[in-house]
Amino acid sequence: MPFSTAARLAFLFALGAARLAADGPYLSVAAGETWQSNVNNAPPPDVTRSAWTTQASAEGAWIASLDFGTLLTSSLQASAEDCPTFHGLDAAGLDGSLTLRRKLGLGAFAPYVSVAAEGGATGYQDTERSEVAGDLAIGAGQRLTDALQVVASVHLGWQSARDEVFSGSYADAGLTLNWDVTETWRLKLLGGWRDGDVVTTYAALGEAGEWYPVDPGAYAYARPYKYISTFGAPYLAYRLRGRTVSGGGALAPALGAHTTLLLQFLRCKTQGYDLYFNNVFSASITHDF
């Protein structure tokens, strides 16, 4: 459920208060490329569309030490995305987060827990996709050995878009195993689960000014739907309930004292009314100042 106006104002007030009491800002910038094999979330036999997306972002973070083992971090991030194949997906956004992290003990092998609230707004070239969104997250992590670390997280999120087809809510969980192979090379194993609203597209047929799905069974399962021209061919976009499982890996070599490269692959399997897959390759560079 979307936050109430009072909750949003309280989040913004807490974010500002945290910055005033903290050290910073600590600045970082990132740039990357992502390729998706099924950017339109189409189940077979409909035509899937692949696309590259270029991302860029800048972030400022403020960190306050509340006691020996507790940190409060607030951050603001501005981001932009460009999709040359489907310009309707071009986007710009502004997000903020507030994270409380507690280390449970002393030493490098002590576990930690965290609680975070995030919120922001994103504008798309296809304006019906433009949204405000929020997220509540619980995380935990622990270094198992000098080289191995495990990190887990659970999220409850929502987005409210200009068109209800692109609105919805979800819950997800993720697990990451970090292996520091050397002082400069890190290997990541990634696993994830998500249950919630997804936007799936079905090929559409036109008749007398109206559009209908090639697969009429989608009518019975779908909630809101609408005709879209984002992907060139005529499609109907549906908001469906779906469950996604994902897995993959990444390499994260350090290019310098403040610069990291991330090469990542994820394969996602989503079961809703139909079953569809998406392979996601990404490469990004982050530099901390």
pLDDT at 176 over 60: yes
pLDDT at 126 over 90: yes
pLDDT band of 55, cuts 50, 70, 90: very high
Question: What contacts 218, CB < 8 A, 6 or more positions away?
Answer: 202, 225, 236, 238, 273
**Cis? peptide before 45, omega within 30° of 0:** yes
**Amino acid at site 230:** T
In angstroms, rounded to a whole number, what is the distance separating the alpha carbons of residues 29 and 76? Answer: 12
In angstroms, rounded to a whole number, what is the distance separating the alpha carbons of residues 193 and 231? Answer: 27
Q: What is the mean pLDDT of residues 123-150?
A: 97
- What pLDDT, on a 0 to 100 scale, did the predictor assign at position 103? 95
pLDDT at 265 over 60: yes
- What pLDDT, on a 0 to 100 scale, did the predictor assign at position 234? 83
**Kind and range of the H or E run holding 5:** helix 5-20
Domain limits of the chain?
5-288
pLDDT at 239 over 50: yes
**Kind and range of the H or E run holding 6:** helix 5-20
Reported as a single tens digit per residue, the pLDDT across 9-43 is 555 555 555 555 568 899 999 999 999 999 999 98
Share of the chain above pLDDT 90, in %: 74
pLDDT band of 273, cuts 50, 70, 90: confident
Q: Which CATH architecture has domain 5-288?
A: Beta Barrel (2.40)
- What pLDDT, on a 0 to 100 scale, did the predictor assign at position 177? 98
In angstroms, rounded to a whole number, what is the distance separating the alpha carbons of residues 282 and 53? Answer: 9
Mean confidence (pLDDT) of the chain? 90
